[in-house]
Amino acid sequence: MLFSRLEALVGGCLLPTLENRTGIWRFGVYEVDTRRLQVRRSGLSVKLREQSFRILAYLLEHAGEVVTREDLRRLLWPADTYVDFDHSLNTAVMNLRNVLGDPAGAPMYVETIPKRGYRFIAPVVFIADETGPGPELAPDPATADDEFSLAVLPLKCTGTASETASFAEGLTDEIVSGLNRFSYLRLVRQDRGARYILDGALRQAGSKLRAVIRLSDSATGEILWNETYEQPFEPDSLFDLQDYLVPRVVSTIADCRGILPRSIGEVLRSRASEEITPEETVLRTCAYFERSSAEEHDAARMALERAVESAPGESHCWAMLSLICRDELAKGFNRRPDSLDRALGAAQRAVETGPNDHLSHLALACAFFFRKDFPAFRAAADRALELNPIDGFSIATLGSLIAYSGEWGLGCALAERAHDLNPYQPGRYWFGHLLNSYRKGEYATGVEIAQRINMPRFWQSNLVLAAACGQIGDTENARRALDALDASWPGLRQVAREELSRWWDAALVDRLLDGLRKAESDTNAIPGAGASSSEPKDEIVPVPPQPVAEMDASDPVPGEPATSPRSYLAITLSLLFAIVVLIAFVLARRFT
């Protein structure tokens, strides 16, 4: 079944269907050591998945010859193995191309022979190993990656209906197929000692089905996630039930804000960049998405720059680096010159090395959006959504940008879809609804949505909340929102037009600045709200300090900054009152 698909790294086993010619194959800057099962680039070990390694070794043994897809099927999977062959082989070849930096459109090493297979076209030198096959070796430290591997166990089922058992088997297969869309995760068989385990059970009672799905960490024994889904169960609508469950389970676990990348990212962020592999750097970047601060941004950028230097064929690393460069401009973190040019260049490298990777097209779409090239933005966004329609992170990000580009109905609908897939998406993804309400003049509704977002350090919601309160004359809440805005991005109002124009068109920026003026007791207190300009500068020297972290609020009062003097006064008075009550209680007990 699909859950037995092997996506592990090269371990210490001989390749049973190869000719077992142990030695070193050399081509370009690469060496492939079939005795130690290692791939080296310029003498440094690089990571290659087991199936991709077997394909590469087989192609090298048959260099210059056409190797058919059927040859590779027999190489990788026994005859009695049920597997989505075409998808799995395409994934393995794509991983090989990514590692070698070998685009399919202009190959230097592996040529695709349409409707037949592949051919290795580069000159090859083989150096035989006269010592013969070596002992089974432990994985090389530079290529071992089982520390963060995931195994999906067959879902158990209770009940007598044969449809339930069949549905459990099919649901397991579809969950694995969905997880394979997120190729930055490592799926392995349970017998490979996976750290993370996804399992669950189905129980049918009459016309209802209850599915309990659980993700656990076998290293710590911690249950990372546990969810119960209850849906109608009708034999004629099992595919509909499957289509409801699979996207929600997969996105909640696997997207960049999902349970697993968030958990792994927290482990990796405490490690130095030289201690983690390029693919782990992608997961480490998920910690930045969670915390979204200048410090996390700087650490993620340094790790990704190191990763693309050591592994230029890793499309995920290029895509993440593009998003990091974008945030220099979009969020004001650690700005350097030519942010947009670097973001676009990294995104184009991502698409070149991973043309079927949805994150590559997500990064490209974001780069085009901030360059105001909206036709190219939509083309890249559509491709990203087509490649992975169950990635809540991509759907939420692109939904916001599609709304800002003028398609408000579609963009807001995509944001809702993202929250439906993964309820752990942050409150900021409701911001499109907030801005749309403001745009339509529904200011009171906008205030309600801002309170729903409840992120006191998210500068965009603070800004629109202040503007909405200014439009309806709510002076007190406008002042609170302005205080929160100043706390979330000190000095932003001094360059308001420039920063807002990076995101939204001139007409909407004018309306937002109008609301901000009304929110001020002195209508001339916004130096950045000067003459309208439809063309924002490409780059500016960041005059204001950087924004603070955009973490979700635990503060029960939306819009109240953590450093507000009003907060300190309230806390002080509360403590004094508690002390007085305690003294009174002690005295009362003493004299009774």
What is the DSSP annotation of 48-108?
-BHHHHHHHHHHHHTTTSEEEHHHHHHHHS-TT----HHHHHHHHHHHHHHHHT--TTS-S
* Residue 420 identity: D
C-alpha distances out from residue 371 to 360, 503, 540, Å: 17, 10, 15
> One-letter amino acid identity for 126?
F
Residue 94 and residue 27 share a domain: yes
- Please tell me the predicted confidence (pLDDT) of residue 276: 87
Among residues 227, 254, 281, the one where a domain terminates is 254
Q: Are residues 6 and 124 in the same domain?
A: yes
Does residue 53 lie in a domain region? yes
SS3 164: helix
**Letter string b/e over residues 43-55, b meaning 16 or more CB atoms within 10 A of that residue's CB:** eebbbbbbbbbbb
pLDDT at 299: 92
Domain of residue 581, residue span: 568-592
pLDDT at residue 375 in the model: 95
Let me know if residue 84 belongs to a domain: yes
Same domain, 170 and 71: no
pLDDT by 10s per residue, the chain, length 592: 322 322 332 333 333 344 456 688 888 878 898 877 888 876 667 778 888 898 999 999 999 899 998 888 888 766 555 556 777 788 888 889 888 888 888 888 999 999 899 999 988 888 875 444 433 333 333 333 458 889 999 998 876 567 788 888 889 989 998 998 898 888 876 656 788 999 999 988 888 889 999 999 988 888 999 999 999 988 788 889 999 999 999 999 999 999 999 999 988 988 888 888 888 999 999 989 888 888 999 999 999 999 999 888 889 999 999 999 999 988 888 989 999 999 999 999 999 988 889 999 999 999 999 999 999 999 999 999 999 999 999 999 999 999 999 999 999 999 999 999 998 878 888 999 999 999 999 999 999 998 888 788 888 999 999 999 999 998 888 999 999 999 888 888 888 999 999 999 999 999 999 999 999 863 334 444 443 333 333 333 334 455 655 554 433 332 333 333 333 344 455 566 667 666 766 666 655 5
CA distance 226 to 215: 6
pLDDT digits (tens, 9 = 90+) for 174-186: 999 899 889 888 8
The answer to whether the Cα torsion of 83, 86, 90, 93 is positive or negative is: positive
pLDDT the model gives residue 107: 87
Same domain, 153 and 219: yes
Q: CB-based burial of residue 68 (10 Å sphere; 0-12 exposed, 13-18 middle, 19+ buried)?
A: middle
Question: 81 and 176 in one domain?
Answer: no
Residue 448 lies in a domain: no
Residues 112 and 164 in one domain: no
Residue 118 lies in a domain: yes
Q: How many domains does the chain have?
A: 3
The per-residue pLDDT for 548 is 56
The 10 Å Cβ neighbour count of residue 251 is: 30
Of 99, 128, 157, the position where a domain reaches its end is 128
Q: Say whether both 104 and 152 belong to one domain.
A: no
Same domain, 80 and 124: yes
Q: Which domain-ending residue is among 228, 254, 280?
A: 254
Residues 6+ apart with CB under 8 A from 40: 30, 31, 32, 33, 46
Q: Which amino acid is at 373?
A: D
User: Are residues 154 and 215 located together in one domain of the fold?
Assistant: yes
CATH of the domain at 70: 1.10.10.10
Rounded to whole angstroms, how far apart are CA atoms 149 and 140?
A: 16
Co-location of 22 and 82 in the same domain: yes
Assigned domain for 19 exists:
yes
**DSSP letter, residue 14:** -
Query: Does 232 lie in the same domain as 193?
Result: yes
338: left (phi over 0), alpha (psi -120 to 50) or beta: left
pLDDT value, residue 293: 86
Return d(Cα 301, Cα 305) in angstroms, integer: 6
| CATH code at position 246 | 3.40.50.10070
Type of residue numbered 319: A
Q: What is the pTM of this model?
A: 0.68
Bridge partners of 563, per DSSP, are: none
- Confirm whether 163 is domain-assigned: yes
Residue 44 within a domain: yes
Please indicate, yes or no, whether residues 234 and 172 belong to a single structural domain of this protein: yes
For residues 249 and 259, the answer to whether their CB atoms sit within 8 Å is no
The candidate with the shortest Cα–Cα distance to 370, out of 332, 401, 416, is: 401
Longest dimension (CA), the chain: 100
Q: Specify if 41 maps to a domain.
A: yes
Give the residues across from 534 on adjacent strands: none
